[in-house]
Amino acid sequence: MKITNFLLRLKLQNGIGYVKMLQIASQLPTSEVNPEIIKQMDLPNKLIKSALTAFYDQQAEAKITRIKKQCQIISFFDQVYPQKLREIYRPPLILFAQGNLKLLQENVITIVGSRQATDYSQLVLNKIVPQLVKSNFVIASGLAMGVDVMAHSATLNNGGKTIAVIGNGLNHFYPERNSQIQRQIINEGLVLSEYLPDTPPRPFRFPERNRILAGIANSVIVTEAKEKSGSLITANIALQENRNIYAVPGPINSQLSTGPNKLIEAGATPITDFSSLA
């Protein structure tokens, strides 16, 4: 059995979460998997039994066939899996995608910021994004309201390529009002998720997806963001993974500028003009 199919079977198996999948995956060969290989793994007997159950699960094949009709599936072991993402702490073992997977091999800049972003973020992005597109950067964001959708829209409006990393399965639109732009990104860019296609959005999944946004990027830009926010989580993960961090400075009396101003104070590069990144 191909390793990607086996990992997908593990993901479909009840009782096997990320940690157990990682324990199994760390001992897998890089091509084919068979029962003898599983039996010889240095793992608890209960986990070996669960892995064998997943391998032999006859109902899984129908589920996998259905998933493959809905999206593309890539695993940690596939060539198309981006090397930068392999190097992060807790890399996703399986990714589900709709769109152009080649974008994962391009020079990616992730843009994040507040869901309650003001016109200031819109103004900044309308100036920065065209320069980035001209320089052949792919713009990634999380397809949330506010800065995320501003970044995606500005990229598409300027003929650029964008990657949306979402915190739910590909069969869901969250928020619902973003359904049109999500479909546009599928056609003109890439939508990416580590969750099975029918997985609904839940609050805890959005911080989880932030490590992917940081992992696929060479650089991260933060516009408006509160001091404690998902955007700062993304920036801090990116900092830990030695990515370049840029922040848009703002007025010190604005809560939405506290995040980027703190990042600048901690050593992030301030964006002081509209062509410094290009």
Looking at every residue in the chain, the average pLDDT score rounds to 95
pLDDT of residue 278: 56
From 21, 49, 70, give the residue that closes a domain.
Answer: 70
Based on C-alpha coordinates, what's the Rg of the chain?
Answer: 20
257 and 126 share a domain? Answer: yes
Whether cis (ω within 30° of 0) applies to the bond prior to 175 is yes
SS3 at position 116:
coil
Contacts by residues 78-81 (CB-CB < 8 Å, ≥ 24 positions apart):
78/4, 80/104, 80/105
Write the CB contacts of 58 (distance below 8 Å, at least 6 apart in sequence).
Answer: none
62 and 106 share a domain? Answer: no
User: Domain containing 137: what range?
Assistant: 101-270
Question: How many CB atoms lie under 10 A from the CB of residue 41?
Answer: 15
Strand order in the sheet with 219-222: 72-75, 94-99, 190-193, 162-165, 138-141, 108-112, 219-222, 244-247, 269-270
Please give the Cα distance from 40 to 42 (Å, whole number).
7
pLDDT < 70 positions in the chain: 30, 276, 278
131 and 239 share a domain? Answer: yes
3-state SS of the chain: helix, strand, coil percent to 5?
Answer: 45, 15, 40
pLDDT of residue 214: 96
pTM for this predicted structure = 0.95
165 and 228 share a domain? Answer: yes
pLDDT in tens, 182-226: 999 999 999 999 999 999 999 999 999 999 999 999 999 999 999
What is the total count of domains within the chain? 2
